[in-house]
Amino acid sequence: MMSNLSHWLEWRPWRVIMGLAVAFVVFSIAAEALAQALSKHWLAGVLAYLATAAFLLYALLTIVALCRVRAGAPAELGIAIAFLMGMMLCRPPLLAIIAFMLKVSDEAAGPLKWLAQVPGLWTIGTICLILMAGFLGRLVGRVIREANLLLVVTVVAAGIDLWGVYWGPVGQITSTEKGRAIAEQLSAAIPGVSAATRAGLPVLTAIGIGDFLFVAMFFAVLRRLRLNQRATFWAVFAIMTVAPAFFLLGDRLPIAENLPGLPFIGAGTIIANWKHFKFSRQEKHTLLIGAAIIILLICAILLIKRLIA
């Protein structure tokens, strides 16, 4: 079975992408229906965790497949733009925000209200968002031409993501109701977690567009440089399914509503490909010190949040 999947990923990536998209639509309908029917607290939590794992598996497999699509840089850009337009059409609130910024009349923007009522539109928008971010990540990854540079970019990106979530633009935007509404339009909601949120359980509800972009960038580079793609896949999947457990700590370890994903994604990538990074002993020590600083920074942020809360 795994050999058949590998064959289809390599030679029929678009068919794999389409098959996964259909499976994701079915999964979304079933997960949401089950979430609406659940009433028990613990069952809602179990469903949310399983739904999150299934969603991550879908997203990672889709990204692996799109990284195997044979396309040059101009085609990658064109495909990304096409899926961006698809995502915008499937996110009427996002179109409404753009229409407001462009000062489009209410009469001209009227069809948006009808469009918002189309069933399944959000799910299709999520598929377009992942594919758009994925092909854009492939394009960005073309600047990385050696394994050592991938490691440096991973560490730097993780640090920037931490800053952005806790102190930077992401944290500031999501601190307001309007900002959270905009961020929601640029994120992929996880199906099946509504029962857990109604029950007051702290669970991961959505993943931002930037996480999909960087995952695709990493896998595109891993493929081009012939690094360990399979181990990276399972390492990233394992770490990302454990990461939401931070929410369960609740008041004992307060964190931002937006859990930064890149430190976890980057950790999985580095762990799976450590032997491919050829640094001198001094350079490795420097990188380890940098990683330690990032870990200490996370701990300091969480401690400060605990003291302020």
Take residue 112 and report the two structure tokens written for it: 């948006």
pLDDT given at position 88? 84
CA of residue 243 relative to chain centroid, distance? 13
DSSP for the chain? -HHHHHHHHHH-HHHHHHHHHHHHHHHHHHHHHHHHH---HHHHHHHHHHHHHHHHHHHHHHHHHHTTS---HHHHHHHHHHHHHHHHHT-HHHHHHHHHHTT--TTTTTHHHHHTTSTTHHHHHHHHHHHHHHHHHHHHHTT--SHHHHHHHHHHHHHHHHHHHHTSHHHHHTTSHHHHHHHHHTEEEPTT-HHHHHTT-----EEEHHHHHHHHHHHHHHHHTT--HHHHHHHHHHHHHHGGGGGGGGGGS---SS---HHHHHHHHHHHHGGG----HHHHHHHHHHHHHHHHHHHHHHHHHHHH-
Q: Is-contact 139 219, C-beta < 8 A?
A: no
C-alpha to C-alpha distance for 94 and 4, rounded to whole angstroms: 39
Has this prediction a pTM greater than 0.75? yes
pLDDT tens, N- to C-terminus, the chain (309 residues): 556 667 677 778 999 999 999 999 999 999 989 888 877 777 888 888 899 999 999 999 999 999 999 999 999 999 999 999 888 888 766 665 555 555 555 555 555 555 556 667 889 999 999 999 999 999 999 999 888 888 888 888 887 787 777 766 666 676 777 777 777 888 898 998 888 888 777 778 888 888 999 999 999 999 999 999 999 999 999 988 887 776 655 555 555 456 778 888 988 998 999 888 887 777 777 777 777 776 777 667 666 665 665
Query: What b/e readout covers 60-91, taking b as 16+ CB neighbours within 10 angstroms?
Result: bbbbbbbbbbeeeeeebeebbeebbebbbbbb
Q: Which among 25, 60, 61 has a CA at the least distance from the CA of 191?
A: 25
Q: Is-contact 20 58, C-beta < 8 A?
A: yes
Q: What is the pLDDT of residues 42-67, one digit of tens each?
A: 788 888 889 999 999 999 999 999 99
261: exposed, middle or buried (Cβ count in 10 Å: 0-12, 13-18, 19+): buried
pLDDT given at position 97? 59
pLDDT given at position 118? 64
pLDDT given at position 184? 80
C-alpha to C-alpha distance for 11 and 133, rounded to whole angstroms: 22
Take residue 301 and report the two structure tokens written for it: 């942020």
C-alpha to C-alpha distance for 195 and 252, rounded to whole angstroms: 23
pLDDT given at position 233? 95
- Amino acid occupying residue 230: R
pLDDT given at position 59? 96
Q: Distance of CA 51 to CAs 214, 247, 309, Å?
A: 22, 16, 30
